[in-house]
Amino acid sequence: MIKKELHSLKWSTIYQLLTSAISYLTLIVLARKYDPIYYGILIFGFNLLEFLKILSDPGITLYNISIFSHVKNRKKFISEVFQIRLFLSIITFIIFLIALFLYKTSPEIKIIMLIFSFSLFPYIFDSRWIFQGALKMNLSFSSRTIFKLLFFIMIVIAIRINVPYYEVPYILFLASFLGYISSFPLIMKYYGNFNVTIRPTKKAISFLKSTLPIGINQMLMASNGIVAIFFIGYLMRSSDVGQYGAAYKYSLFVSGILSIILNSMLPIISKNTLDKKEFKRYSDFYLNILILSLFSAAVPIIIYTDIIYKFIYGSKYLISAPLASILTFANLILSYIHFIGYHLISRRKQSKYTRILSLVFILNLFFLTILLPGYGIYGAGISMLIASVVSLVLAVYYYKKYVKSSLNQMLKTVITIIVSFIATILVHCVLKNWLGFFVSVFLVIILNLSIIIYFRRLKGENQEK
């Protein structure tokens, strides 16, 4: 069984890396083609769509992954889930139309946002949860990966023929429709034909009650970046949205790798099939060492943001490079908080994880209202950083109390980060170029490995005594 779980982890990681890489490349291509003012409108639309997806899928996908292997009549269950998601999407779309009518902006922007919202409906047929729930990770590529790849190819072609920015939402809808529908032959191969109708029942309401706790956490996890985009879009210019959007996506290049590894663990953690001692040894050692390495290796990327940022986006986005450094560090902390949260979930402490995420959201919302008017997009970054640091304290407290783990691993992480920052800053003072970046990466990795070996040896000596 353990071999099967680790095989699934491999495919889940590949899936996460591939889809995330395609998404990042797509947004980079769009940023390099369009000025921050137009890129800002597109970023606002993409985030709006993500918000609508969360409302139409309140924890259903994650809940289904955890229970699908125990479902007896899978064909009927798949039909019922599609039915529930279709009903919720229609309700969400109606609410969005009312909000769009009341929102004060130009008719052009309203039309663009309306076209973005149409992509909500193809998302209903995302089959990722079906194959992940059955631990067939190699088949979970079928819908979302095809959609993202199609969208990337279409965007590259559109840019080559100079398609205006306001036609991007149409391309998104076409790619999402073709991508998600493409998985149906695989679904029918394993589970047969099925019908989807709009018929909400008492069973559907009961099902939504089961998914709601997960849905709340899912909303809170994704809300911080979305809320910042909405605040900036409402209070400031669309070019500011573009600058913030570029910085936020840059921050996910690094923290996203960490999140990918942790998200890949979710199907395994949710099933809880590994022996508890072996699972603890596996997660506490290998994953913590991986997190430690990623945190310290990210430090040169944070310090040398200007060089990398210009290479990725071009000089027109350099104004938001310092913001990218702040957001990168904040999102790394949030990724570590999610790691702790997965442990809490595995020990049936879902409510504690919800408290942590709620604190992140409340603090971010509070400081956004204070800092954004005076400090602009940089205020949004500082707000995120404050919220993540304070919430990490609560997360560590719960980790110590309910996971019954010592703080040694976290102390190693803190020490390594501090040493990495000092070493990188010293190199940066002498070499502010690509050579300095590569030298600092090499130096930080050596220091990281040295500290890990030192702590392991120290632990061994203590055990001998």
Q: What is the pLDDT of residues 227-239, one digit of tens each?
A: 888 888 777 778 8
Long-range contacts made by residues 256-261, C-beta under 8 angstroms, separation at least 24?
Answer: 256/20, 256/24, 256/331, 257/17, 257/294, 258/291, 258/294, 258/295, 258/332, 258/335, 258/336, 258/339, 259/335, 259/338, 260/13, 260/16, 260/17, 260/20, 261/13, 261/16, 261/287, 261/290
Residues 405-412 have a mean pLDDT of 64
The CA–CA distances, whole Å, from 211 to 176, 267, 283 equal 25, 16, 26
Which pLDDT tens digit goes with each residue over 3-60? Answer: 455 455 556 666 667 777 788 888 888 888 888 888 888 888 888 888 888 888 776 6
pLDDT at 99 over 90: no
Check residues 145 and 329 and name the one with the higher pLDDT.
329
pLDDT band, residue 274 (cuts 50/70/90): very low
Check residues 186 and 150 and name the one with the higher pLDDT.
150
pLDDT of 157 reads: 92
pLDDT band, residue 392 (cuts 50/70/90): confident
Q: What is the pTM of this model?
A: 0.76
Residue 268 burial by Cβ neighbours in a 10 Å radius (0-12, 13-18, 19+): buried
pLDDT of 312 reads: 85
Mean pLDDT of the chain: 77
Check residues 96 and 63 and name the one with the higher pLDDT.
96
The CA–CA distances, whole Å, from 261 to 140, 175, 189, 205, 335 equal 16, 27, 30, 33, 10
pLDDT of 183 reads: 74
* Closest C-alpha to 224, from 394, 397, 381: 381
Long-range contacts made by residues 312-317, C-beta under 8 angstroms, separation at least 24?
Answer: 312/28, 312/250, 313/28, 313/31, 313/32, 313/246, 313/250, 314/31, 314/32, 316/35, 316/36, 317/31, 317/36, 317/242, 317/243, 317/246, 317/247
CA-atom Rg of the chain in angstroms: 23
Distance CA(291)–CA(294), nearest Å, equals: 5
pLDDT band, residue 174 (cuts 50/70/90): very high
pLDDT at 444 over 80: yes
pLDDT at 262 over 70: no
Check residues 382 and 225 and name the one with the higher pLDDT.
382
Which pLDDT tens digit goes with each residue over 121-157? Answer: 888 777 776 766 666 666 666 677 788 888 899 999 9
Residues 325-354 have a mean pLDDT of 80
pLDDT at 272 over 50: no
pLDDT at 296 over 90: no
Name which of 282-286, 364-368, 410-414 the model is least confident about: 282-286
pLDDT of 173 reads: 92
Check residues 296 and 201 and name the one with the higher pLDDT.
296
In the chain, domain spans? 1-200, 227-465
pLDDT of 351 reads: 78
Amino acid, single-letter form, for residue 208: L
pLDDT at 206 over 90: no
pLDDT of 2 reads: 45
Check residues 291 and 163 and name the one with the higher pLDDT.
163
pLDDT of 414 reads: 75
Name which of 61-65, 135-139, 309-313, 457-461 the model is least confident about: 457-461
Percentage of residues of the chain with pLDDT beyond 90:
4
pLDDT of 273 reads: 45
Residues 112-124 have a mean pLDDT of 88
pLDDT of 1 reads: 46
